[in-house]
Amino acid sequence: MEYKVFRKTVKGRNGKEVRRWYYHWTDSSGKTHQRICKNCRNRPEAENYIRTIPSPLNTTSQEKITIADIAEFMYVPGSTHIKRRIQLGKIIEPETMVDCRRYIKIIIEKWGEMPLRNLTVDTVMPYLFDLDKSGRWKNRFLEVLGEIYTESAWFNCWTPKPEFKKFASNFRKADIFTTAELERLFQPENFPDEMFYLFYLLCLSGGLRLGELRAVRVKQIMFDQKVLIVDGFCKRDGTRTNYNKTGTPDHPRLRLVFLPDLTLEKLKNLITAQNLQPDDFCFTVNDKPVREELAETVFYRALQKSGFIPLPPKKTPAKRGEGKQKQNKDKLKPFDGRKLVPHSLRYTYVSRMRRELSAAELQPMSGHASIEMVDYYNRKVLDLALAALPERGKEAADSLFV
């Protein structure tokens, strides 16, 4: 058995007909299979592509290897699977591994004794349709399942992954605050102290994600340039990275963002009052970065004090099978039904800055573009990055609260 490439006409996403390259093979039972040659524009590229794919094996050898055999040690620390991921430059963050392992356990429990080649779309999709989970959860399930098909190549039973359909994401985006609502929220009495007031003021001022905000150190703030260097984030356990979201240590995807004078002045006062050094975190509790759970609690209490969400009812015993997390979510629904969360401040920042800047100008500041900046302590690199920022960004930052 061997692969052969061919070209056929198919309908593209826009409904127009396009010519694309595919490959096909016939298994030992006489059944013919075909798959697309990804990102191939001509025959030489298609023929090179099929050389990178493990050769199809006979049906008998595939039937001896079950899904459990392949997936048993996937995402397990110290396993050959993890060692391969390290060498291939794939994510091995502990949180990610734990998350993936949860899906693997479900897959093994459901279909572990089945040969991978027998697991079809008709088996998987009805199971997910009947599952009371979000579209995001189901899509993540399919991503992890797809990794099992990739892993099968190392068990001499490589099986092409079926074309599973993606689920619609029913994830609701955070809502934004109006000018009047920002004034209502950002009253000192709504926060435990000046530090937490400034914590969320900086979140709004720079459009920061919560992990980026918790990770801010003194040396990231360039007061003379009115700029904050966003160069990493804190994980849930407090560990700080040297790269931003979707980045890696080799490609950190750093960014610069202008800050308003009001925020810069308060940051300078905080640093001076606490005698903070360049490597010190700006926001700490017991000399450690603010925990994510504490930060969220402070934000929701500020929403309660400013009248966005109801005050917590008297404590009642949790119902059987109902954890604290579900109870808290029920308590924190705003009166008007909107979704107000810490990330709402980031959405608010983008929306308000968009009044003054074009999308192209704002993307490098918000971190939504794939812009890579390396070694920001190198003044030459930093000066180039500063020169690339729009001068109008300073005025836009200063008008953030107007």
Model pLDDT for residues 349-362, shown as the tens digit of each residue: 888 887 777 777 67
Give the angle 71-74-78 at the CA atoms, nearest 5°. Answer: 140
| DSSP state letters, 170-207 | -PPPPP---HHHHHHH--GGGSSSHHHHHHHHHHHHHT
For the chain, the C-alpha Rg in angstroms (whole number) is: 26
Spatial separation of the C-alpha atoms in residues 252 and 47, rounded to whole Å:
35
Segment 184-194 shows an average pLDDT of 95
Mean pLDDT computed over every residue of the chain: 83
**Quick one: pLDDT at residue 25?**
82
Exposed e or buried b per residue across 370-394, where buried means at least 16 C-beta atoms within 10 angstroms of its C-beta: eeebeebeeeeebeebeeebbeebb
- Residue 350 tokens read as 């983008």
Q: What is the pLDDT of residue 388?
A: 66
Q: Give the span between the Cα atoms of 290 and 7, in whole angstroms.
A: 57
> Which pLDDT tens digit goes with each residue over 27-50?
766 778 888 888 888 998 888 888
Q: For position 310, what pLDDT does the model report?
A: 80
Chain centroid to CA 326: how far?
A: 23
Q: What is the mean pLDDT of residues 178-197?
A: 94
The residue that leads in pLDDT, 264 or 174, is 264
- CA gap 366, 362 in Å, rounded: 6
**Cβ-contact 195, 215 below 8 angstroms:** no
Give residue 301's pLDDT.
Answer: 94
pLDDT digits (tens, 9 = 90+) for 246-295: 677 777 888 889 999 999 999 999 999 999 999 999 999 999 999 999 99
Averaged pLDDT, 148-156: 88
Q: Is the pLDDT of residue 383 over 90?
A: no
In single-letter form, the type of residue at position 4 comes to K
